[in-house]
Amino acid sequence: MYFEHVYDKSLAQGSYVVGCQATGEAIVIDAKRDVDTYLDIAEKNNLRITHITETHIHADFLCGSRELASITGAKMYLSNEGGEDWQYEFPHVGLKEGDKIKVGNLSLEVMHTPGHTPESISFVLRDHPATNDPVMVFTGDFVFIGDVGRPDLLEEAAGIAGTKEVGAKQMYESLKKFAQLPDYVQVWSAHGAGSACGKALGAVHSSTVGYEKIRNWAFQFGEDKEAFIHELLSGQPEPPKYFATMKHLNKVDRPLLAEVPKHQKLSKEDFHHARDRGLKVIDARDKNEFAKGFIPGSINIQGNNSFSTWAGWLLNYEEQFIIIAEDDQMEDLTRKLMRIGLDNIFGYISEVNAMGIELSTADVINLKEFKSYVGNEDAQIIDVRGVNEFREGHVESAENLFVGTLEDHLDKINRDKQVVLHCQSGDRSSVAYSLLVSNGYADLKNYSGGFKEWQELGNKVVIEAEESIPA
């Protein structure tokens, strides 16, 4: 048996290539959209991609199953569970509980595991030349290492009311089914630490059924179903805005992108013409370089592993945009964006100084200056971290406005006061700073050391009382 875990750090997303070396057949599970990775793996290992499958209709990335099928001619095997509203709307081989996909001498048995979503399925792998006992289980967003999939995404991100309580009850029952697998079976999920699909995902990529039963919080409630449901629905991170779009695009027929596109480098004239037409400018440079000099109105989303997530929060899928990045960054950034379906890159520039625009600078302050604004009635301190981070500890007198939804709450930011921004360690506050500048705010300061520095140096931390946190 051939096995390879393909991990995308930018979305903390895992996909899999599993092959039978005797017959040369292979299956890809939960493919990312830049599918050349799988084609390269198959070629280097004398495999043919003959089967493609998904664990569910994903919300956090644009699955590349259809791109891969169009190139290889492989069949797609997808869930037909979950009822009428949860069916894929394009041709595929439908899967139900107990069905088996045969890949050479390997088999993957379908286990319906609703909870995260109604149609969610897991695959129990058997390597028949060696044994008829199960070897691995591919759980998608059902069971993670140290966590389980959140059932509130359909309601919180996709706006499907009344689904999270139903999903939580289904998750409770699905976990009982999972726990019946042999303890030695390896667990491989679709996400790791950093994903918004759960709240406590582990940093390692694999575990076993037995280990999860001992260490995963979700298995520690015994028969107390209500306590499990309460814990599962509490403290989940904010689901990015783009999740609703992903859920839709992964379900319906859509245009395919079979290769990584290349984008034009814009001339000075082209850049100004596009900017005059209102195209957003995304500055992917490091936050420190951005602070030293940026094009007014540009949004600083650093080109690191969080680039696609914040782009998904802040960009409109219907509008073109421009990127500021080095030539050798563009392929990586393009891949990160195409993985969430953001294909409307108009072009890019690499030299902000060459555009003939007077650059602005960010007012970045240190801890000493930040302290002078704490408790100052003439200042408004805004913590742009997530609501759960804020509740677990924040600076006294700070207000919480999450950066992902900051532009929806501009009415809460006082233009007559000194506005001081901070996050955990400076990345998100740089995004927030640029967003406010683009919305006409002038009197801004960014405490880049953030709450991490504040706490590490022993300053006062306010913790929300547990009873004040709604379930």
pLDDT tens string 389-401: 999 999 999 999 9
Give the residue from 247, 197, 241, 259 showing the smallest Cα distance to 70: 259
Fold of 2-249: Metallo-beta-lactamase; Chain A (3.60.15)
6: tokens are: 């393909």
User: What is the pLDDT, as a whole number, of residue 158?
Assistant: 63
Delimiting residues of CATH 3.40.250.10 domain(s) in the chain: 268-355, 364-468
User: What is the pLDDT, as a whole number, of residue 157?
Assistant: 65
pLDDT, one tens digit per residue, over 152-199 is: 876 776 666 778 899 999 999 999 999 999 999 999 999 998 887 777
What is the amino acid identity at position 239? P
Task: Name which CATH class applies to 364-468.
Answer: alpha beta
Fold of 268-355: Oxidized Rhodanese; domain 1 (3.40.250)
User: What is the pLDDT, as a whole number, of residue 203?
Assistant: 83
Burial of 389 by CB count in 10 Å (0-12 exposed, 13-18 middle, 19+ buried)?
middle
Contact call for residues 142 and 107 (beta carbons, < 8 A): no
324: tokens are: 């500021």
Delimiting residues of CATH 3.60.15.10 domain(s) in the chain: 2-249
Backbone angle region of 69, left / alpha / beta, with phi > 0 → left and psi within -120 to 50 → alpha: alpha
User: What is the pLDDT, as a whole number, of residue 467?
Assistant: 41
Give the residue from 145, 432, 213 showing the smallest Cα distance to 314: 432
User: What is the pLDDT, as a whole number, of residue 465?
Assistant: 62
Q: What's the first-to-final CA gap in the chain, in angstroms?
A: 46
User: What is the pLDDT, as a whole number, of residue 159?
Assistant: 66
- pLDDT < 50 stretches in the chain: 467-471
User: What is the pLDDT, as a whole number, of residue 224?
Assistant: 96
User: What is the pLDDT, as a whole number, of residue 190?
Assistant: 96
